[in-house]
Amino acid sequence: MENSPDLLPDDVAALRAELIAARAKGAQIEAELAVAKAKASEDLAVIARQKLRIEKLERQLYGPKAERRARLIDQMEFQLAELEMAATEDELAAEMAVAATVAVAGFTRSRPVKKPLPDHLPRERVVVPGPVSCQCCGGDRLRKLGEDITETLEVIPRQWKVIQTVREKFTCRDCEKISQAPAPFHAIPRGWAGPNLLAMILFDKFGQHLPLNRQVERFEREGVPLSLSTVADSIGACCAVLDPIIKRIEDHTFAAERLHGDDTTVPVLAAGKTDIARSWVYVRDDRPFGGTAAPSAMFYYSRDRAGEHPQAHLAGYSGILQADAYTGYTKLYLPDRRPGPITEAACWVHARRPFFAMADVEANARRKAQGKKPAVISPIAVEMVQRIDALFDIEREINGQSAEVRKAARQDRSLPLVLELEAWMKAQRAKLSRNDDLAKAFDYLLKRWPAFTLFLDDGRVCLSNNAAERALRGIALGRKSWLFAGSDRGGQRAAAMYSLIVSAKMNDVDPQAWLADVLHRIAGYPAHRLDELLPWNWKSASPAAHKLAA
């Protein structure tokens, strides 16, 4: 055998040479393995990147086909980030391994094209001194030919400062009266915090779901010790100061001809436990039927889900309400209601959901791969999902058109599908027992058929209640961070701030910049001009206002 001790040379120099050759061979093998691993990691990242791109393009072109599509995209983005990090680590490891040998070709990842850095960011030039003499002949007669610029994005750590507002006093030598300029208005009493700091605290707590205790801990690490009670006091003061803006958003929201309504759970701290409270939202969004009014959202909090809460929220409203089949809305639809009846518009997404659960082939395949018992795929449920999806395909084509155009398209294209669907559902329902899950799903639709078919006669109505569900998405995400509301007052305070932040986001306004500007100006702002500070009006304000908030 080649590795037998009898075959090894006795000469030390020969042994040293053989050891060096063996180490070189080992380094070469390690380099080849590292390069192969880097290539494999890059392939996985490229595949994940392309899948994500395809998924986003399909969503953009055709809209969400499944209830879980948005969550899948978030999960795919997370997986892509993990694969990109792994690919970069493997690339650097391959570079170091290749550097130890000359027999293996290097590997460089083919990264996606990097977006140019924003032009509005300030540039700081760091000039590397050029040579003073020629590196070839040593001459000193050098002439500048040009320059190469490499841009690196950098961030300046958060800077804290104390602003001293000095008001000089003067005394009159004739009458000895003391004169002094009036004190400036502050966003909150005693004015210990500036508007930008207050806006950051508010947005981090209610927009980024970062509890106050974590914010205070970070402030202390940055050398600014603030007590939790002091910061909490500023939150309450800001809510009181911003109350006029909240009331104007409320008035604007309930002036809509059509509203989206929904609710979600909010854990609230109780004696030795947590209770399940509710957060309600009402969304005005006229953009699907070409409306020019600005979108907005109004949130409310309640300790339970009693029907008296939405009835109180909508006490002065009459129009169209798009919501689920919650029984608490029933009294709102009575014909003798004052100031007028509310017309019910049902959500086809809610109706589609149970059928989709019984027709989810992908989820069933995953259960089977995990060794779990697969569910039964219902052919009736599959056909029902396909029929409903055909209605949504028409809606995507007419989204954003005027109510008249939408109604005409629905009468021409959707009405025949709906009539055929109704006859088919009744025929299928007659074959099922009352306890069958399909029967319950069919009954949900058939018992509320006028509400589900209202969209055929009114172009303002949407097929889904997704606008309200999108507004509640932040609360669903935030529950994982703040766990529960501290009290009923805390829930009401959160609802008020959600109204501000979500309304700003719906109008493509940076909530933190807007809050900072509003807090800076509202104390001395004329009451009859407060509408100018609403998100949709602030968006179209002069650039000076935006610069002030920056």
What is the average pLDDT score of the chain? 85
Mean of pLDDT values over 108-119? 71
Looking at residue 338, its amino acid is R
Q: Is residue 250 part of a domain?
A: no
- pLDDT band, very low/low/confident/very high, at 31 (cuts 50, 70, 90): confident
Q: Tell me the pLDDT tens digit for each residue of 389-414.
A: 999 999 999 999 999 999 999 999 99
pLDDT in the model for residue 549: 42
The pLDDT > 70 percentage for the chain reads 86
pLDDT in the model for residue 545: 46
Q: Taking the chain, what is the end-to-end CA distance rounded to the nearest angstrom?
A: 77
Q: Is residue 125 part of a domain?
A: no
How many domains does one find in the chain? Answer: 1
Q: Is residue 500 part of a domain?
A: no
Choice between 359 and 334, residue whose per-residue pLDDT is larger: 334
Q: Is 193 left (phi over 0), alpha (psi -120 to 50) or beta?
A: beta
pLDDT in the model for residue 7: 65
Three state DSSP letters for 294-324: CCEEEEEEECCCCCHHHHHHCCCCCCEEECC
Q: Is residue 48 part of a domain?
A: yes
Q: Is residue 27 part of a domain?
A: yes
> What is the Cβ-side half-sphere exposure of residue 435, based on CA atoms within 13 angstroms?
0
Mean of pLDDT values over 264-284? 85
Residue 482 has pLDDT above 90, yes or no: no
Q: Helix, strand, or coil here: 182?
A: coil
pLDDT in the model for residue 53: 81
44-53, 57-66, 125-134, 463-472: least confidently modelled range: 57-66
Q: Tell me the pLDDT tens digit for each residue of 441-465.
A: 999 999 999 999 999 999 999 999 9
Range of the domain at 71: 5-99
pLDDT in the model for residue 543: 45
Neighbouring C-beta atoms of residue 85, cutoff 10 Å: 12
Q: What Cα–Cα distance (Å) separates residue 183 from each residue in 161, 163, 169, 172, 437?
A: 20, 14, 12, 20, 69
Residue 285 has pLDDT above 70, yes or no: yes
Q: Report yes or no on whether pTM surpasses 0.85.
A: no
The answer to whether residues 244 and 499 touch, using CB atoms and an 8 Å cutoff, is: no
d(CA 362, CA 307): 38
Choice between 109 and 219, residue whose per-residue pLDDT is larger: 219
* Most confident of the following: 61-65, 128-132, 353-357, 406-410: 406-410
Residue 114 has pLDDT above 70, yes or no: no
Mean of pLDDT values over 418-425? 96
Q: Is residue 190 part of a domain?
A: no
Mean of pLDDT values over 171-180? 89
Residue 110 has pLDDT above 70, yes or no: no
Secondary structure letter of residue 11 according to DSSP: -
pLDDT in the model for residue 547: 46
pLDDT in the model for residue 50: 83
Choice between 101 and 520, residue whose per-residue pLDDT is larger: 520
The answer to whether residues 329 and 344 touch, using CB atoms and an 8 Å cutoff, is: yes
Residue 3 has pLDDT above 60, yes or no: no
Q: Is residue 26 part of a domain?
A: yes
Q: What is the DSSP string of 417-467?
A: HHHHHHHHHHHHHTTS-TTSHHHHHHHHHHTTHHHHSGGGT-TT--S--HH
The answer to whether residues 455 and 463 touch, using CB atoms and an 8 Å cutoff, is: yes
- pLDDT band, very low/low/confident/very high, at 426 (cuts 50, 70, 90): very high
Cα–Cα–Cα angle for 191, 194, 198, nearest 5°? Answer: 105
